[in-house]
A and B are shown apart, each in its own frame.
Chain A
Amino acid sequence: MTTTTLIFYILSGVLLSSAVMVVTTKNTVYGVLFLILAFFNAAGLFILAHAEFLAMILIVVYVGAVAVLFLFVVMMVNMETKKSQRMDRRYLLMGIFVGGVLVLELVVVFMSWNTSPEAFELIFAPQDGLSNTHALGALLYTHYALIFQAAGLILLIAMIGAIILTLRQRENVLKQKIGDQLARQAKDSVQMVDISPTSSFRNLESLDDSATPRGRTSRVS
């Protein structure tokens, strides 16, 4: 047993058990943390397969961004665990049944599966001097260019959707308009007035109102 095999079994063991914990644990925060652990071990498996680019991207995107947002939501929502427990029982049988059927199908499919002899060579990245970042890029931007762009479009739609469904234009909110603030000139807001010592202070009020400050925080209707 080589070290690589040992590491492989450790990583996949932790990966599988943390994946089970994600579903079974009562505390949702722990659930997300186990999910992160699972991502980590998956990244480790990628590194074992010499796919270091995928490993890093997995961590940056899933652990660094997606799971943070999960954690945010879960921590804010503060789930009541007791109530959902009772609900679980009712769906447990059905869930086990559906899951069982799917597992059975998978088992049956893989029993009748013949792996083609070349498949084992494909598991590891080809060692032809090209780093796998280059190799991925060369494929993504040529062969899969269309699909890559389409995936971008999907993300755009998701973004539009999230904005439409959550953005509420509130009225009477104070908003800072930095552009207006920067565009404000001294001559717009300051007026030089010659006041002769004899004139009364009252006269100042009759000055025109054009000097109302523009750049101040203004109400948005």
Chain B
Amino acid sequence: MVNVEDLLFLIGYTLLIIIPLLLAVAYLTYVERKVIAAMQRRVGPNVVGWFGLLQPFADGLKLLHKETIIPTQANPFLFIVAPLLTFGLSLSAWAVIPFGPGMVISNINVGILYLFAISSLGVYGIIMAGWASNSKYSFLGALRSAAQMVSYEVSIGLVIVTILLSAGSLNLSEIVEAQQNIWFIIPHLPMAVIFSISALAETNRAPFDLPEAEAELVSGYNVEYSSMTFALFFLGEYANMILMSAIGSILFLGGWLPPLQIPPFTWVPGIVWFSLKMSFLLFVFLWVRATFPRYRYDQLMRLGWKVFLPFSLLWVILTAGVIVIL
């Protein structure tokens, strides 16, 4: 039987991750607006609280007290389930992320596959929302998004294959430990580039935000959503961004490891390094959004299938060959 004490600890750990995560999501929206504003020489939110620091809570409160509208022609069950699914999935992936040596809820053997599996499920929330809304814009957005996510999952999968070939393990902590000597970004720089671009596509972020293109699809799959159901999609998307940054720093930037294994760096705890790396990657997400215009759909598909897929396949073969020779 499961020990009651263990269960309580488990719940405690989970809360310890979820609450900071939700706070991080809230402030990511704030940072996004600030960063983009700075890049566009605006001020950004500055009214609610000091420097607008309370803005995310104001937004949340506003969404919370609005009415949840379910369109009459919609499929109410799936309509409600879809945002829950998106949000739930974006949280459940965190169970296997190691924040430091041994700082992980569940240190499973196939951690990286678990992450890959969870991220491949993300498409269901979107496609269910699009279909259940019974609206053409939603459905179009959902179709675009599903095709996009399925396509880019392939190249993410191949990136993961190269990493696990180099690390010799599917366990995330062991992948991090394998980067003691050298971060994987250095030998696998092209794969790191492919991963970061695919991560943008996988999270439906600019410049690959076609599923919610405001101009054509009036925000795509979530056009019929309001209030908390919309908020859940919103939270899910940002939580996914943070998750992708976490995966990126584990796979390529050595997770909790300091840049050099010498005293001034090793004094800093691993979780700080991990957060710093994640923050940098998150900044890149925002930076890209402020810089690049949106891709056209055929260009997006071309990039995924005709550029990334063959190249990453080639790289997998190359990596395997080098490992066999060494």
Indicate whether A and B are direct neighbours in the complex (CB within 8 Å).
Answer: yes
Chain A residues within CB distance 8 Å of chain B: 2-3, 29, 33, 36, 52-53, 56-57, 59-60, 63-65, 68-69, 71-72, 75-76, 131-133, 176, 178
Contact, CB under 8 Å: B120 / A75: no
B68 at the A interface (CB under 8 A): no
Q: What residue of chain B has the Cβ atom nearest to residue A133's Cβ? A: B170
Contact present for B302 and A60 (CB under 8 Å): no
- By the criterion CB–CB under 8 Å, are A53 and B110 in contact? yes
B146 at the interface (CB under 8 A from A): yes
Contacts from B to A (Cβ < 8 Å): 1-2, 78, 108-110, 113-114, 116-117, 120-121, 123-124, 127-128, 131, 139, 143, 146, 150, 153, 157, 170, 298-299, 302
Residue from A2, A56, A68, A71 in contact with B116 in the complex, judged by beta carbons closer than 8 Å: A56
Contact among A52, A75, A133 with B127 in the assembled complex (CB-CB below 8 Å): A75
Please tell me if the beta carbons of B1 and A63 are within 8 angstroms of each other in the complex. Answer: no
Q: Report whether A68 and B123 are in contact in the complex, using a CB–CB cutoff of 8 Å.
A: yes
CA distance A78 to B302 in the complex (A): 29
Residues of A within 8 A of B157 (CB): 60
> Is B121 a contact partner of A65 (Cβ separation < 8 A)?
no
Q: How far is the CA of A2 from the CA of B139 in the complex (A)?
A: 46
- State how many angstroms separate the Cβ of B93 from the closest Cβ of chain A: 13
Looking at chain A's contact residues, the main secondary structure is helix
Closest 10 CB pairs between A and B? A64-B120, A56-B113, A59-B117, A60-B117, A52-B110, A56-B110, A131-B109, A75-B131, A56-B117, A60-B120
B114 touching A56, Cβ below 8 Å: yes
Report chain A residues within 8 Å CB of B113: 53, 56-57, 60
How many whole Å from B296's CB to the nearest CB in chain A?
Answer: 9
Interfacial chain B residues near A36, Cβ < 8 Å = 124
Complexed CA–CA distance, A63 and B114 (Å):
13
User: Are A64 and B153 interface neighbours, CB within 8 A?
Assistant: yes
- CB closest residue in chain B, given A131: B109
New A-B pairs, 20, CB < 8 Å, besides A64-B120, A133-B110: A2-B1, A3-B1, A33-B78, A36-B124, A52-B108, A52-B109, A53-B109, A53-B113, A56-B116, A59-B120, A59-B121, A60-B157, A63-B117, A64-B117, A68-B127, A68-B146, A72-B143, A72-B146, A133-B109, A176-B299
Q: Which residues of A sit under 8 angstroms from B110, Cβ to Cβ? A: 52-53, 56, 133
Q: Take A52-B110, A75-B131 as given contacts and tell me if A63 and B121 are in contact as well, using a CB distance cutoff of 8 Å.
A: yes
Q: In the complex, what residues of A have CB within 8 A of residue B124's CB?
A: 36, 68, 71
Chain A min CB distance to B89 (Å): 11
CB-CB under 8 A from A57, the residues of chain B are 113
Contacts of B120 in A (CB 8 A): 59-60, 63-65
The residue in chain A whose Cβ has the minimal distance to the Cβ of B114 is A56
Query: When chains A and B are docked, how far (Å) is the Cα of A68 from the Cα of B120?
Result: 10
> What residues of B have a CB within 8 angstroms of the CB of A71 in the complex?
124, 127, 146
Select from chain A the residue with minimum beta-carbon distance to B139: A75
CA distance A176 to B296 in the complex (A): 11
| Residues of chain B within 8 A of A65, CB atoms compared | 120, 150, 153
**Bound form: Cα–Cα A131–B109 in Å:** 8
Closest Cβ of chain B to A158, distance in Å, is 16
| Assembly CA distance A89 to B146 (angstroms) | 36
Query: Which interface residue of B78, B170, B298 has the most chain A CB atoms within 10 A?
Result: B170
CB of A189, distance to nearest CB on chain B (Å): 22
Q: Identify 21 residue pairs between A and B in the complex whose beta-carbon atoms are under 8 Å apart, listed by A's number.
A: A3-B1, A33-B128, A52-B108, A53-B113, A56-B114, A56-B116, A56-B117, A60-B120, A63-B117, A64-B121, A64-B123, A64-B153, A65-B120, A65-B150, A65-B153, A68-B123, A68-B127, A75-B131, A131-B170, A176-B298, A178-B302
- By CB atoms of chain A within 10 A, which of B78, B113, B131 has the most? B113
* A69 CA to B153 CA, complexed, in Å: 14
The CA-CA distance from A81 to B2 in the complex, in Å, is: 46
B2→A29 contact, CB < 8 A = no
Give CA–CA (A56, B157) in the complex, Å: 13
Report the separation of the CA atoms of residues A69 and B170 in the bound assembly, to the nearest whole angstrom: 27
Q: How far is the CA of A178 from the CA of B299 in the complex (A)?
A: 9
Chain A residues closer than 8 Å to B298, beta-carbon distance: 176
The docked-state distance in angstroms from the alpha carbon of A63 to that of B153 is 13
**Residue numbers in A under 8 Å from B116 (CB-CB):** 56, 60
Chain B residues closer than 8 Å to A131, beta-carbon distance: 109, 170
Bound Cα distance from A216 to B121, whole angstroms: 40
Minimum CB distance partner of A40 in chain B: B121
CB of B131 within 8 A of CB of A29, answer yes
Residues of A within 8 A of B108 (CB): 52
